[in-house]
Structure 1
Amino acid sequence: MRILFLGDIVGVPGRKAVIHNLARIREEESLDFVFANGENASGGYGLKAKHAKELLKAGLDGITGGNHIWKYKDLYSMLDGDGRILRPHNYPEQLPGSGVRVFRKEGFPPVAVINLIGRTFMPPIDCPFAAVETVLDALPAEVTVQVVDFHAEATGEKIAMGYFLEGKVSAVVGTHTHVQTNDAKVLSGGTAYLTDLGMCGAADSCLGMKPEIILDRYLTGLPRQLEAATGPGVLQGAIFDIDESTGKAVSMATFQREG
């Protein structure tokens, strides 16, 4: 089984890069499943329902979220009703949606996607380590392929999660920082790992945002509303191959493509 997981989609350039290129990439890379973090897809913050539908129509099998997933309330009904959209599982359970989805496709074993959010340098939240243990204990035995999107700020927390889940899940990929890291590997327990997938957004930007606004904030110290950058996009993520019979990863590599 060959899976592509794309980093945070940021604004119009990120959405366009995915929508215009995904079908070709699926064919060229012989992909069986494609997932992406979409929590910044609408204007750089949040995910509107109409943009979620566009991305799913373009060929994404599932969309994960993060700390901005709650911005647009029109998404809440999709979080509850559309099994392809996730929000971090360690948010309070009474909130809309779930952080665990099992994706089924004819000819392939089921794939569980687990969405978590970190605690270091992030708002207070339930422990992601305890949350994922509970999830894994509850998954049916037939679900041998499990992919974790850990939406976290601190690299150390992400690396710790990778080792915590080594041998327990098929892949652990980090999102949130929008900078693709250079540590793609398969851990000794058969878990594919990457600290951060990067982003799908404007290539000439500061984490997908307009550089001039970021610079002004640093130079003056004054608050300014960030805006998603414009211009040609870039697609970043990781491709990993999973042994369907064992759920173990056999390869892991970063992915980058001009959009």
Structure 2
Amino acid sequence: MRILMLGDVVGKVGREAAETMLPTLKEMYSPDFTIVNGENAAAGLGITPEIAKSLLRNGADVITLGNHTWNRRDIVPYLDQEPRILRPANYPPGTPGCGYRVYTAQNGVRVGVANMMGRVFMEALDDPFRTADKILESFRGQAKISFFDFHGEATSEKTAFGYYLDGRASVVVGTHTHVQTADERILPKGTAYITDVGMVGPQDSIIGMNAEIVVQKFITQMPNRFEVAEGGVVLCGIVADVDPDTGHATQIQRVQIRDIH
């Protein structure tokens, strides 16, 4: 069972690159299931129903989100209408949408997917660790394979989450910082892990934003409206192989393609 995951899609240039490259990536890696983090797809902040529909139409099986979930008002009702888009599961009860579901991959294997958000340097949400326990219990008997997108700022929190779920989740990947880390590995008890998948966005940028504007913000400390950068795109992701009988990962590899125009 092979799962392809693309990191945070940033702006129009990022989503155009993702949609253009997904058929090529599927031909290269032959994934059975594809996940895309789309929380920055609408001009760098949030996602709209139209963008979500386009990503799903062009090859994503599931879209995960993060701390910019609510930046576009029209996405709120859509979260209750479209089961293939997930917002962080540790938002309080009663929040629109859902944070985890079980899906059927192209090869007929059932896959549980969950979207979580960290709390270090982030919003004060419910405990993602105990929330994950409840999610895994709900997956029991429905899907042996489980995939967690942990949207967080701190590498320590992401790593702790990976070890907490080691042997219980099939794959744990970090998103949010937009910088792909080089620590992909199989943890001791069989969980595939990487601290951050990276982004699909402008490579000549600061995490996808216009570098000059961001630098000026650091220098002056004055409020400034960030803009998605232009130019060539870097596409970052991972491919993970999972044994469908045990739910344990057997391989994880980084994907990084630069200079996409």
Aligning the two structures, in what range does the TM-score lie when normalised by the shorter sequence? over 0.9
Q: Name the counterpart of 1:83.
A: 83
In 2, Cα distance between the equivalents of 1:19 and 1:138?
Answer: 32
In 2, Cα distance between the equivalents of 1:220 and 1:60?
Answer: 40
- The share of aligned pairs that are identical, in percent, is 46
- Contact 2:13/2:233 (CA < 8 Å) preserved in 1? yes
Task: Note the C-alpha offset of 1:105.
Answer: 3.2
Does the alignment pair 1:222 with 2:222? yes
In 1, Cα distance between the equivalents of 2:42 and 2:98?
Answer: 21
In 2, Cα distance between the equivalents of 1:17 and 1:114?
Answer: 25
Secondary structure of 1:73 counterpart: coil
In 1, Cα distance between the equivalents of 2:105 and 2:150?
Answer: 24
Q: Name the counterpart of 1:231.
A: 231
In 2, Cα distance between the equivalents of 1:44 and 1:106?
Answer: 31
- Contact 2:201/2:234 (CA < 8 Å) preserved in 1? yes
Secondary structure of 1:214 counterpart: helix
Secondary structure of 1:252 counterpart: strand
163-172 or 232-241, larger mean C-alpha shift: 232-241
In 1, Cα distance between the equivalents of 2:12 and 2:232?
Answer: 10
- Aligned partner of 1:67: which letter? N
- Contact 2:176/2:196 (CA < 8 Å) preserved in 1? yes
In 2, Cα distance between the equivalents of 1:144 and 1:27?
Answer: 26
- Aligned partner of 1:7: which letter? G
- Aligned partner of 1:210: which letter? N
Task: Note the C-alpha offset of 1:203.
Answer: 1.2
**TM-score for both structures, normalised by structure 1:** 0.98
Q: Name the counterpart of 1:132.
A: 132
19-28 or 101-110, larger mean C-alpha shift: 101-110
- Contact 1:12/1:230 (CA < 8 Å) preserved in 2? no
**Aligned ranges for residues 111-126 of structure 1 at < 5 Å?**
111-126=111-126
Task: Note the C-alpha offset of 1:106.
Answer: 4.8
- Aligned partner of 1:131: which letter? T
In 1, Cα distance between the equivalents of 2:63 and 2:75?
Answer: 12
104-113 or 91-100, larger mean C-alpha shift: 104-113
Tell me, which stretches of 5 or more residues in structure 2 are unaligned?
none
In 1, Cα distance between the equivalents of 2:193 and 2:26?
Answer: 21
Does the alignment pair 1:153 with 2:150? no
Task: Note the C-alpha offset of 1:251.
Answer: 0.3
In 2, Cα distance between the equivalents of 1:113 and 1:155?
Answer: 21
In 2, Cα distance between the equivalents of 1:107 and 1:171?
Answer: 18
In 1, Cα distance between the equivalents of 2:32 and 2:107?
Answer: 10
Q: Name the counterpart of 2:141.
A: 141
Secondary structure of 1:157 counterpart: helix
Q: Name the counterpart of 1:188.
A: 188
- Contact 2:102/2:142 (CA < 8 Å) preserved in 1? no
- Aligned partner of 2:198: which letter? G
Q: Name the counterpart of 2:108.
A: 108
**TM-score for both structures, normalised by structure 2:** 0.97
Q: Name the counterpart of 1:207.
A: 207
Pair 106,214 (structure 1): closer, same or farther in 2 beyond 3 Å: closer
Q: Name the counterpart of 2:38.
A: 38
211-220 or 103-112, larger mean C-alpha shift: 103-112
- Contact 2:8/2:200 (CA < 8 Å) preserved in 1? yes
* Structure 1 runs, 4 residues or longer, greater than 3 Å off: none
